[in-house]
Amino acid sequence: MKARLFFDNLGRALLTREIFENKNLSRRFYKYFLIGILVRLVFLPFLYMRDLLSIYQRAAETVFAGNFGSDFYQILTNYIHSAYLFVIKSIVPAISEFSSILLEKDTWVSWISFNSSYNVFTAVALFKILYLLFDIACMFLILRLSFDDEPENRLRAFKFWIFNPIVIFVLYVFARHDIIGVFVTLVALLLAKKNRKYWAIIILAVGIAIRFFPIMILPLFVFYLARSRKDYIVLSLTGISGLLSVELFSYFYFGRSVIFSLLNTQFFNYLLKPELELVTGSHGSIFIFIAVYIIIILSFLHIKNKSFDLLLNYGAIIYLTYISLCFFHPQYVLWAVPFLIVIFVRRKSLIYYHWFQFILVLVLLLYWGPLVTNFIFTPIDYRFFIYLPSPNSIVRLFYDDAGFVNIFRSVFAGVSLWMVYLIYKYNKTMLSNKLNGGED
C-alpha cells in the first residue's frame, strides 16, 4: 500500500497532477514516452560525431591522468563528463579498457582505434546515456513550462519535444552535449516562471558558465524579473557571476583568462562575422546580429506587462535570429527548441517550418564535409564509411559544393526569419488580446 502511494506521488510529481489523474492523458503520455525512448535507443549505440570522442578524451585526461585543466574552454562541461566517466568506468569494466585509446594524443589514431574496437557500441551507448538522462529530465521540465490549467496542451508540448527531430538528431546522431546547458536553462526558466528571481538568475548564471548561449537570454530574464532599479543591477551582476567565477578560477588555476581566450576563438567570431561595411576599405562596420539583437531586447523591454509566455516567445526569437544571421553548428539549433515547443502548441503551422528547418540543417552538414556525414556511421564499419565517397565530392561533380550549401543556407535563413516574424505577429495578438495595448 505504501509502495503504491509512493509511486502515485512520484507519478504526480513527474507527470503533473492533471495528467497523472486523467487515465486517458496518462496513457497517452506513457505511449509517447515509450515511442520517443524507442527512437532514441535505436540510434544510441551506432552513431556519433567525432566531437563526442574528443569530449570524453578530455574527460579521460581528468579521470585517468588527473589533469583537471584538460578542457580549458568548457571547464564545467568537462567536469560533468569526467564525473560521469568516473562512474561508468567504475561500473562497466569495458570503459576502463578504452583508457589507452582515450588518452592517445594522435586524434586520428584514437578515432580509428575506438571505431575498430569490438565493444565500440557499448562505449558509444554509455557515453550518450548521459545525454539521454538530461533529455529525459528536460522532457519533464517542458511539461511544466506553460499551460498551467491545460493538461492537454502540456501533453502536446511534451509530444513536440519527445518527437522533435532536432533533439533526436543533435543528441543521438550527432551526440553533442548542449542538452546539459539546455537543461540548466529550463530549470532557470521554471524558476523565473515561479518568480524566484534570484534563484532563476543564479541557475541561468550556471548555465552561462556551462555553455555561452544562455547569455543571449540574460537581458530577457533581467527585464522580466526585475521589479526595481536595484534589481536591474543585482540581477545583471548575478547573471554574469557564473562566467566571472569561471574566469577567476581559470585565472588562478591556469594563469590565463578564459573569457578573452573565448573571445579570440572562431566561435565568438560567428556572432560578429555578418557585418555591414559602412565605407569600403574603412574600419567602420555594423555587426548585423548585434544590432538586430539590441532591437529585439529593446522591443521586449518596452512591453509593460511582460508575461512568462512572452519571455519564451522572445527567447525563440533571439535564438532563431541567431541561427538565421550567423554561422552556426547544427547543435546550436537545439537552443531554440525548448522555446519553440511552447509556440508550436498554440501555432501548429510553425512546426511544419521547423521540420523544414531540420531538413535544411541536414543539407548544411555539407559545410563540414565527411566529418559530419560519412564519419558519423564509422562505428558500424569505419573502413567502409571512410572510403565511401562523401556527399560533398558527389555534389562537386555538378556544382561548387559551398555555393550549393549556401543556397540552402539562405533558404534556412529565410524560413527562420519568417518564423521570427510569425512569432512577433503572435506576440502582438497576445498583447492586444490580453493586455489591451500594454506596449509603449
Partner 1 sequence: MKMVNPGLKIIVLVLTAVLILTLFSGCRGVFYIPGASYGYYIWEEDNNIYVEWSIDRKESEFEGRILTDGKITAYNLNGWEESDTIKVEGDKIEFSAALDDTDYSDGFSFAIQDYTYLEFDLKMNGGYDLSRINLGGFLENPEESVFRIGKGYFGQLGEKPWYRKHPFSEFLGKLFSNKYFTFVYLFILGAVIIEILRVTVLAGRKRKIIGMAISYAVLVVAEIGIYFILRFLVR
Q: Is 380 in the site for partner 1 (CB under 8 A)?
A: yes
Q: Which of 361, 372, 376 is nearest to 415 (CA)?
A: 361
Q: Is 252 in the site for partner 1 (CB under 8 A)?
A: no
What is the sign, positive or negative, of the torsion defined by CA atoms of 172, 178, 180, 182?
negative
- Return the number of the residue (33 or 426) whose C-beta is nearest partner 1: 33
Stretch that binds partner 1, among 233-241, 299-307, 372-380, 421-429 (CB under 8 A): 372-380
Stretch that binds partner 1, among 146-154, 173-181, 306-314, 388-396 (CB under 8 A): 388-396
Give the shortest CB-101-to-partner 1 separation in angstroms.
15
Integer Cα distance of 391 and 23 in angstroms: 48
Q: Is 383 in the site for partner 1 (CB under 8 A)?
A: yes
- Return the number of the residue (85 or 310) whose C-beta is nearest partner 1: 85
- Return the number of the residue (44 or 419) whose C-beta is nearest partner 1: 44
Give the shortest CB-61-to-partner 1 separation in angstroms.
26
Q: Write the CA distances from 258 to 156, 206, 299, integer angstroms.
A: 41, 15, 32
Q: Are 86 and 92 in contact (CB under 8 A)?
A: no
Q: Write the CA distances from 257 to 214, 238, 264, integer angstroms.
A: 20, 20, 11
* 3-state secondary structure (DSSP) of residue 287: strand
Helix (H) or strand (E) holding 424: helix 401-434
Side-chain-side CA neighbours of residue 136 (13 Å): 14
Report the residue from 10, 34, 233, 237 that binds partner 1 according to the rule CB under 8 A: 34
Report the residue from 199, 301, 396, 418 that binds partner 1 according to the rule CB under 8 A: 396
Q: Is 237 in the site for partner 1 (CB under 8 A)?
A: no
Report the residue from 10, 13, 35, 359 that binds partner 1 according to the rule CB under 8 A: 35
- The angle subtended at Cα 214 by Cα 223 and Cα 60, nearest 5°, is 155
Q: Is 385 in the site for partner 1 (CB under 8 A)?
A: yes
Q: Which long-range contacts (CB under 8 A, 24 or more apart) does 292-297 make?
A: 292/321, 292/325, 293/216, 293/318, 293/321, 293/322, 296/321, 297/219, 297/220, 297/223
Stretch that binds partner 1, among 71-79, 266-274, 275-283, 383-391 (CB under 8 A): 383-391
Give the shortest CB-340-to-partner 1 separation in angstroms.
24
Q: Is 42 in the site for partner 1 (CB under 8 A)?
A: yes
Supply the angle between the helices 120-142 and 75-91 in degrees, to the nearest 10.
120
* 3-state secondary structure (DSSP) of residue 279: coil
Q: Is 397 in the site for partner 1 (CB under 8 A)?
A: yes
Stretch that binds partner 1, among 10-18, 24-32, 298-306, 355-363 (CB under 8 A): 24-32
Integer Cα distance of 401 and 405 in angstroms: 6
> By CB neighbour count within 10 A (0-12 exposed, 13-18 middle, 19+ buried), where does 230 fall?
exposed
Report the residue from 13, 41, 109, 407 that binds partner 1 according to the rule CB under 8 A: 41
Give the shortest CB-111-to-partner 1 separation in angstroms.
16
Integer Cα distance of 109 and 123 in angstroms: 17
Report the residue from 276, 394, 402, 407 that binds partner 1 according to the rule CB under 8 A: 394
- Return the number of the residue (134 or 377) whose C-beta is nearest partner 1: 377
Report the residue from 7, 30, 251, 421 that binds partner 1 according to the rule CB under 8 A: 30
Phi and psi at residue 276, to the nearest 5°: -110, 110
- Return the number of the residue (35 or 290) whose C-beta is nearest partner 1: 35
Q: Is 381 in the site for partner 1 (CB under 8 A)?
A: yes
Single-letter amino acid code for the residue at 48:
Y
Stretch that binds partner 1, among 57-65, 67-75, 82-90, 389-397 (CB under 8 A): 389-397
Integer Cα distance of 416 and 343 in angstroms: 14
- Return the number of the residue (92 or 215) whose C-beta is nearest partner 1: 92
Grid cell locating 129: 546515456
Q: Is 38 in the site for partner 1 (CB under 8 A)?
A: yes
Side-chain-side CA neighbours of residue 119 (13 Å): 12
Stretch that binds partner 1, among 14-22, 25-33, 143-151, 406-414 (CB under 8 A): 25-33
Q: How are the residues of the chain apportioned to helix, strand and coil, as percentages rounded to the nearest 5?
A: 75, 0, 20
- Return the number of the residue (37 or 136) whose C-beta is nearest partner 1: 37
Stretch 102-141: interaction string toward partner 1, x if CB under 8 A: ----------------xxxxx--x----------------
Integer Cα distance of 71 and 125 in angstroms: 23
Single-letter amino acid code for the residue at 231:
D
State the residues that interact with partner 1 by CB under 8 A. 27, 30-31, 34-35, 37-38, 41-42, 45, 118-122, 125, 377, 379-385, 387, 389-390, 393-394, 396-397
